[in-house]
């Protein structure tokens, strides 16, 4: 997985399959973080969920409702 900051065409939490084994995902920009160590976990989780669904659709399960609500 290749993860970059979100842009105007790719909102945080989205992902795109580039080839058989590579998924590119977009997370919240670093400048929105409150501290240097602040990881935007919800957008990371959404990217991971999307990548997993693309690469292993037979094993995919949605994120728990609590995590989805945190990202809303």
Residues 6+ apart with CB under 8 A from 23: 1, 2, 15, 16, 17, 50, 51, 54, 55
Indicate the number of domains in the chain: 1
Note down the domain range covering 26. 2-71
- What does the pLDDT look like over 4-59, one tens digit per residue? 999 999 999 999 999 988 999 999 887 765 655 566 788 888 899 899 888 887 77
Q: Residue 72: its pLDDT value, please?
A: 47
């Amino acid at each position: 997985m290749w993860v970059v900051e979100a842009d105007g065409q790719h909102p945080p939490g989205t992902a795109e399959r580039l080839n058989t084994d590579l998924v590119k995902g977009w997370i919240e920009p670093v400048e929105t973080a409150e501290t240097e160590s602040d990881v935007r976990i919800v957008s990371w989780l959404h990217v991971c969920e999307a990548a997993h669904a693309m690469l292993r659709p037979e094993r995919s399960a949605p994120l728990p409702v609590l995590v989805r609500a945190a990202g809303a």
